[in-house]
Amino acid sequence: MIYTSFDNGSLVKVLSLLKSHNSEYLSGQDLSDVMKISRVAVWKHIKKIRSLGYKIESRQNRGYRLVNNTNQLLPWEITDGLNTKLVGKRVYYFDTIDSTQNFAIKIASNSIENGAVVISQKQTRGRGRFGRKWLSPQGGIWLSIVLHPTFDISVTTLFPIAASLALANAIKKTFQIDSKLKWPNDVTIKGKKVAGMLVDASVESNKIQYLVLGVGINFKVNSKQLEKSLKKTVNFYGIISLIDKNENQSPILFVQNFLNELENIIELLNQEKRKIIIKDWTKKSSSIGKNIIISTHSGKINGNAIKLDDDGALVIKNNKNTQRILAGDVIHPT
Ligand code: BTN
């Protein structure tokens, strides 16, 4: 099943009528008259809207009344009240998909998709960094964002790092939770992974055609179960759920806040204000100033994490030399 923010016909119209009249009942006849559809069609829409998690009360001889909004990240819920100029203005939503990243890459070269967000409740073949699998059960937030950035190509390696800062800012703003950033782009709480990111890029003649940012957030997941399935993954350091299973927090405002923060950060990158991002990232970093191990494709390096360079490289120093690392996993010795 796919829903979008731009092509839903009468389903969303029925829903907006219910939303704008939620202090009264709307009769099936009224809805059918206003919408110019049959009463059977109205009933089918009501059934569908209910199946999307909205609570609609129905009273004989009075009609329908919306009593509760949904917690599902439906496209129109995200675009409604979103304050961005570009990011998230166009949203695709799936119940299930192989990978939002794969779908986003397929649509990415079309200029209309600049800023588009692809979300799925579940992924059957979620992709992590370095070709690792990314388990994506219901309850998490799995999304990919298509961007046609105007910033310089040299910013590309800093971009996912900056995006992880945007996510940490959104976590703070929405839930007042302080998270940490683990190089390059993991967001952690209590030393465990709450979110991860990856970027797929298409570059031609030294110019970025598109970037697709993939974001996986363990929003409300069974972390113990995921840890059990993932414990053999290379450099695995544990999973934490952002929201406890007993909490009833909606992910909608959170995703809106993230898209907003992301757009702000892209604006900083456009203006070449990398220093601001590096300063804020460093404040939230769990590694800078610490002795760490970096696992790269050519082996492990021990050293002190000194700073983040302008291009997102992590600079580490040991008694042999100082090195700039552009790809790898940070390991915090216990
Ligand atoms: C990591 O390894 O830390 C990056 C994980 C990125 C996962 C997200 S979930 C949405 C998008 N679709 C994918 O297949 N992967 C990314």
With a 6 A CB cut-off, is 199 part of the ligand 1 pocket? no
Short-list 3, 24, 4, 30, CA closest to 14? 30
Domain span at residue 148 reads 75-284
Mean predicted confidence (pLDDT) in 255-266: 98
Domains: count for the chain: 3
Q: Name the residue of 92, 120, 127, 185 whose CB sits within 8 Å of the most ligand 1 atoms, as the mutation to test its pocket.
A: 127
- Which pLDDT value is given to residue 127? 97
Give Cα separations from 152 to 148, 155, 157, 293, 295 (angstroms).
11, 6, 11, 31, 28
Ligand 1 touching residue 101 (CB < 6 A): yes
**Closest ligand 1 atom, residue 101 Cα:** 12
Of 97, 103, 198, 295, the residue with max ligand 1 atoms within 8 A of its CB, to mutate for a pocket test, comes to: 198
Bridge partners of residue 68, in order along the sequence:
55
Measured in Å, residue 226 CA sits from the centre of ligand 1 at 15
Domain identity same for 140 and 268 = yes
For the Cβ of 118 lying below 6 angstroms from any atom of ligand 1, the answer is no
Residue 308's CATH number: 2.30.30.100
Half-sphere exposure of 258 (CA within 13 A, CB side): 25
Question: Tell me: the pLDDT tens digits for 202-236?
Answer: 999 889 999 999 999 999 999 999 999 988 888 99
- Kindly report the protein residue whose alpha carbon is nearest to atom 15 of ligand 1: 127
Query: pLDDT of 184-209, one tens digit each?
Result: 999 999 999 999 999 999 999 889 99
Amino acid 305: pLDDT: 96
Which atom number of ligand 1 is nearest to the Cα of residue 130? 2
Identify the pLDDT of residue 159.
Answer: 96
Let me know whether 247 and 318 are in one domain: no
- Closest by Cα among 219, 273, 255 to 81: 255
Nearest CA to ligand 1 atom 5: 128
Query: From the CA of 138, how far away is ligand 1's center (Å)?
Result: 14
Cα(27) to ligand 1 centroid in Å equals 44
Question: Which residue, 19, 47, 68, sits at the end of a domain?
Answer: 68
Residues 12 and 120 in one domain: no
Domain final residue pick, 284, 305, 323: 284
Candidates 264, 280, 261, 150; CA nearest to 215 is 261
Distance 330 CA to ligand 1 centre (A): 18
Q: Are residues 137 and 60 part of one domain?
A: no
pTM above 0.85, yes or no: yes
Q: Are 224 and 82 within one domain?
A: yes
Whole-number Å distance, alpha carbon 198 to ligand 1 midpoint, is 6
Say if residue 218 is in the same domain as residue 99: yes
Say if ligand 1 is within 6 A of residue 167 CB: no
Residues 58 and 88 placed together within one structural domain of the fold: no
Please state, as a whole number, how many other Cβ atoms lie within 10 Å of the Cβ of residue 58: 13
Q: Report how far apart, in Å, the C-alpha atoms of 14 and of each of 54, 65, 93, 252 are.
A: 12, 11, 19, 20
pLDDT in tens, 135-185: 999 999 999 999 999 998 989 999 999 999 999 999 999 999 999 999 999
Q: Pull the structure tokens for residue 317.
A: 């120093």
Taking alpha carbons only, the member of 70, 85, 260 closest to residue 172 is 260
For residue 186, the ligand 1 atom closest to its alpha carbon is: 3
Q: Is 197's C-beta closer than 6 angstroms to any atom of ligand 1?
A: yes
Distance 321 CA to ligand 1 centre (A): 33
User: Do 52 and 166 fall into the same domain?
Assistant: no
Does 232 lie in the same domain as 214? yes
- 105 CB less than 6 Å from ligand 1? no
Residue pLDDT, tens place only, 277-292: 999 999 999 999 999 9
